[in-house]
Chain A
Amino acid sequence: MKIIRLHTSDEAVIKKILQGDSRAEKQLYDRYAAKMLGVCRMYIKDMHYAEDVMIEGFTRALDNLGRFRFEGSFEGWLRRIMVRESIDFLRQRTQLYFEDITEVEVAPVITDNQDMDAELLQLLIDKLPEGYRTVLVMFAVEGYGHKEIAEMLNISENTSKSQLFKARKQLQEQLGKVRRIENER
């Protein structure tokens, strides 16, 4: 009986790519492109720009695939590339602005009993300024610490904390507005 393997591991696909197999490149793209576009979209409001950044990030990842050491997950490695590409994009367009404030602690935003869908969440964070949104997504979604965020964005740890504080505050205000609109209905 012949066993047909339906799923090839990332490692096997990467090794094929390193041997010059262009079909394996496409296979890797099909596997991760949609997820990575989702990552870029969190940082960049405009969908077309987000796709441009995803394409640049994927090209860079394929060009530097030889540097991947198989020590962690490939998805994590690719995700980091996408985050860096997104940050670079925002920097180039001078959309990334950080302001320092003194208060640095605020409680996470509680959403009562609401289980919000992804589109609404995206809408909420899209309304935040670039600097707030970037720090919030890096902290809450990607799981980076303030030290790491500070290094990646070339800012101080306190600035990172203050950006998160502001982001949370604004999110709280926006949620209040959403609740009011829902109550009116």
Chain B
Amino acid sequence: MKDRNLEQQLADKLGNRSITPSAKAWDRIANNRQQGKTQKKKKKVFAYYAAAAVFFLLASGYVFLMQNKTDVIITEPQVVDGGEVKAPVLPSEEAVVSKSVEIKETEAVAYKEPEVLVKKQSVEVVTEKQEMASVADQEIVIKKKQPEFNLHVEPIEALVSIEEDKFYEQETDMLLKEAVKDVAANKHLSNTTNDTALLKEVEAEMDEYYREKAMSIFSLKHKTIRIAVKDKQ
């Protein structure tokens, strides 16, 4: 017999050696497999629950965002620009989300009547106050005349969904313009101004504004919760 490399013997004899496992070995493998399957099922169920939870969160977030948008009703035209009557002033085209404003032809015709009136008023302003000639060319906002205006114009109700902040910015701009015109018309020039009093007045107005805003949000939330509770019952 030739000399044999020990490593070759290892490969030949140990490499192909078979050792019979104990009788319970297969039962243990089957048991392991069964446990693995149940764990996989549990993982699947957990994954479904997780997906459902994520979906619920996203849906509730979407509903919450939608509820923050409020509907604003504009009942009358507010701005007269150089004798022209504009349609109800919307904050911006982007702000209109849910519904578009449709103005019927009859309503559009009804605007033409106050156009004449306003023109007359603007002419009166110009004749009475000659020094205001330069200002008269600019935009004139006449808010005080609006009640008369409403007598001729059929009230237009347009349900527009807008963002509140933009609406109030527009309103602020409009009030500023009105103040400029008043100053130009020397309406308040005779009054002496008191800085502190003015500041207090503005602060009071702002407080009131924010209080109203907060109350409107609270009432809206309250309403939503009530509806939700009612639906649940």
Contact = CB atoms under 8 A, between A and B. Distances in A.
Nearest to A47: B19
A26 interface: yes
A16 B26 CA distance: 18
A116 B5 contact: no
**Residues of B in contact with A, size category:** 20 to 34
A25 B31 CA distance: 13
Interface in A85-113: 108-113
B61 to A, nearest CB: 39
Interface centre among B6, B11, B20, B32 (most CB of A within 10 A): B6
Contacts of B14: 38, 42, 118, 121-122, 125, 137, 141
Contacts of A109: 5-7
A169 B160 CA distance: 93
B199 interface: no
A34 B16 CA distance: 10
A182 B19 CA distance: 28
A116 B10 CA distance: 9
B232 interface: no
A34 to B, nearest CB: 4
B1 A113 contact: yes
B22 interface: yes
A125 B10 contact: yes
Interface residues of A, number: 44
B21 interface: yes
A63 B4 CA distance: 41
B147 interface: no
B21 to A, nearest CB: 5
B65 to A, nearest CB: 44
Interface stretch (A4-12, A51-59, A145-153, A154-162): A51-59
A63 B8 CA distance: 34
- Secondary structure type dominating chain A contacts: helix
A101 B1 CA distance: 36
A171 interface: yes
A166 interface: no
A67 to B, nearest CB: 15
B36 interface: yes
B130 interface: no
A111 B3 contact: yes
B21 A121 contact: no
A55 B32 contact: yes
Interface in A56-73: 56, 58-59, 62-63
Contacts of A175: 6
Contacts of A114: 4
Contact of A34 (B6, B13, B21): B21
A117 B25 CA distance: 27
Given A29-B29, A111-B9, A51 B20 contact: no
Given A34-B20, A34-B21, A117 B3 contact: no
A184 interface: no
A38 B10 contact: no
Nearest to B1: A113
Interface string A119-143: 0011001000000000011011111
A168 B119 CA distance: 114
A77 B152 CA distance: 93
Q: Which 8 A-B pairs have the closest CB atoms?
A: A34-B18, A140-B7, A109-B6, A38-B17, A59-B32, A118-B13, A37-B19, A141-B15
16 contacts: A29-B29, A34-B19, A37-B20, A37-B21, A41-B19, A50-B19, A59-B32, A63-B36, A108-B6, A108-B7, A110-B4, A118-B13, A122-B14, A137-B14, A171-B6, A175-B6
